[in-house]
Structure 1
Amino acid sequence: MAVERILVVDDDWQTAEALRKNLLIEGYQADTATSPPEALDLLAKTPYAVVVSDLRMREMSGIDLCDEVRRLYPDTDVIILTAYGTIQNAVEAVKRGAYDYLTKPVDAERLLSTLRRAFEMHALRDENRALREQIQAERQAMRLIGSSPPMLAVMETIRTVAPTDATVLVRGESGTGKELVASAIHELSPRARHPLVKVNCAAIPETLLESELFGHERGAFTGAHAQRKGRFETAHKGTIFLDEISEMSPALQSKLLRILQEREFERVGGSETILVDVRVIASTNRDLEKAVRDGSFREDLYYRVNVVPILLPPLRERREDILVLANCFLARVAARNNKSFKGFTPAAQQKLLTYNWPGNVRELENCIERAVIMAQGDTLGPDDIHLAPAISRESHDDVASKLVQPGFSIEEFERRLLEASLRKTGGNQSRAAELLGLTRRTLQYRMEKYGIRINRAQAPDNSSEESNAGA
Structure 2
Amino acid sequence: MTKKQGTILIVDDNRNILTTVRMLLDSIFANIITIANPNSIPAKLREEHPDVVLLDMNFSSGINSGNEGLYWLREIKSLSPKTEVVLFTAYADIQLAVTGIKEGAADFIVKPFDNEKMIGTLLEARDRNKAADKAMGKNGGKDSNSTMYWGNSEVMSNLRNIVEKVAATDANILITGENGTGKEVLANEIHRLSARSEKKMLPVDMGAITETLFESELFGHVKGAFTDAKTDRPGKFELADGSTIFLDEIGNLSYSLQAKLLTALQRRSIVRVGGSTQIPIDIRLICATNRNLQQMVNDGDFREDLLYRINTIHLELPALRQRKADIVPLANRFLRQYGNIYNKVCIRFSEEAEQKLTSLPWYGNIRELQHAIEKAVILSDGGMIAAEDIDGGNQTRREKPLEEVLTLDEMECRMIEKTIKECEGNLSVVAARLGISRQTLYNKIKRYGI
TM interval, short-chain normalised? 0.5 to 0.7
Conserved? CA contact 1:202–1:247, under 8 Å? yes
1:450 matched residue in structure 2:
434
Are the equivalent residues in 1 in contact too, given 2:172–2:286 (CA < 8 A)? yes
- The Cα of 1:346 is off from its aligned counterpart by 1.8
| 1:423, distance to aligned residue in structure 2 (A) | 3.2
The answer on whether the counterparts of 2:244 and 2:283 sit within 8 Å (CA) in structure 1 is yes
Mark the runs of 5 or more structure 2 residues left unpaired by the alignment: 1-55, 82-145, 438-442
Matched, 1:337 2:342: yes
CA shift, 1:72, in A, is 9.8
Point out 4+ residue stretches in structure 1 off by more than 3 angstroms: 71-76, 128-142, 388-392, 419-429, 431-437, 442-449
Q: Relative to structure 1, is the Cα distance of residues 138 and 322 closer, same or farther in structure 2, using a 3 angstrom cutoff?
A: same
Supply the AA of the counterpart residue of 2:314: P
Cα separation, partners in 2 of 1:334 and 1:426, compared to 1, 3 Å: farther
TM-score under structure 1 length normalisation: 0.59
| Contact 2:181 2:365 (C-alpha < 8 Å) held by counterparts | yes
Matched residue type, 1:378: G
- Structure 1, unpaired ranges of 5+: 1-70, 79-96, 98-124, 400-415, 454-461
User: Which residue type is aligned with residue 156 of structure 1?
Assistant: N
Contact 1:213–1:231 (8 Å) recurs in 2: yes
Q: RMSD over aligned Cα, in angstroms?
A: 4.2
Q: Supply the AA of the counterpart residue of 1:265.
A: I
Shift of 1:149: 0.8
Match of 2:408? 423
**Alignment-derived partner of residue 77 in structure 1:** 62
Partner of residue 320, structure 1: 325
Q: Deviations over 1:226-265 (max 9, x none)?
A: 2211110100000000001111122321222223222111
8 A Cα contact 1:137 1:188, kept in partner: no
Identity, in percent, stands at 39
The count of corresponding residues between Structure 1 and Structure 2 is: 320
Correspondence list, 1:212-251, <5 A:
212-251=217-256
Partner of 2:310: 305
Q: CA deviation at 1:133?
A: 8.2
Paired residues for 1:145-184 under 5 Å:
145-184=150-189
2: distance between equivalents of 1:434 and 1:330?
A: 37
The letter for the 1-side match of 2:62 is D
Structure 1, residues 71-113: CA drift from partner, whole Å, max 9, x if none?
99876728xxxxxxxxxxxxxxxxxx9xxxxxxxxxxxxxxxx
Does the CA-based 8 Å contact 1:425-1:432 persist in structure 2? no
Written as runs of structure 1 = structure 2, the 5 A alignment for 1:200-219 is: 200-219=205-224
Indicate how the Cα distance of structure 1 residues 294 and 436 shifts in structure 2: closer, same or farther if over 3 A, else same.
closer
1:257 corresponds to 2:259: no
Shift of 1:297: 0.7
Equivalent residue for 1:378, pick from 369, 375, 383: 383
Go from structure 1 to structure 2 and tell me whether the alpha carbon gap of 1:135 and 1:270 turns closer, same or farther (over 3 Å shift).
closer
Q: Deviations over 1:20-53 (max 9, x none)?
A: xxxxxxxxxxxxxxxxxxxxxxxxxxxxxxxxxx
Deviation at 1:266, TM superposition (A): 0.8
Larger radius of gyration between Structure 1 and Structure 2:
1
CA deviation string 1:445-471 (max 9, x = no partner): 946742479xxxxxxxx99x87x999x
Q: Secondary structure at the match of 1:313?
A: coil
The whole-number CA distance in structure 2 between the counterparts of 1:434 and 1:450 is 11
Alpha-carbon displacement from aligned partner over 1:413-441 (angstroms, at most 9, x marks no partner): xxx89x97973537689x9789979xxxx
- Supply the AA of the counterpart residue of 1:326: A
Query: Secondary structure of 1:254's match?
Result: helix
Letter in 2 for 1:232: F
Alpha-carbon distance in 1 for matches of 2:418, 2:77: 37
Amino acid at match of 1:347: E
Query: Residue type matched to 2:375 in 1?
Result: R
Counterpart of 1:187, as a letter, is R
Q: Which amino acid aligns with 2:260?
A: K
Matched residue SS, 1:242: strand
The one-character-per-residue Cα deviations of 1:257-287 (angstroms, maximum 9, x if unpaired) are 2232221111122211111100000001101
SS in 1 for 2:285: strand
SS at the partner of 2:207?
coil
2:374 corresponds to: 369
Any conservation in 1 of the 2:202–2:245 contact (CA below 8 Å)? yes
Partner of 1:347: 352
SS in 2 for 1:77: coil
Query: Secondary structure of 1:328's partner?
Result: helix
Q: What is the letter of the counterpart of residue 289 of structure 1?
A: Q
From the superposition, tell whether residues 424 and 385 of structure 1 become closer, same or farther in structure 2 (CA, over 3 Å): farther
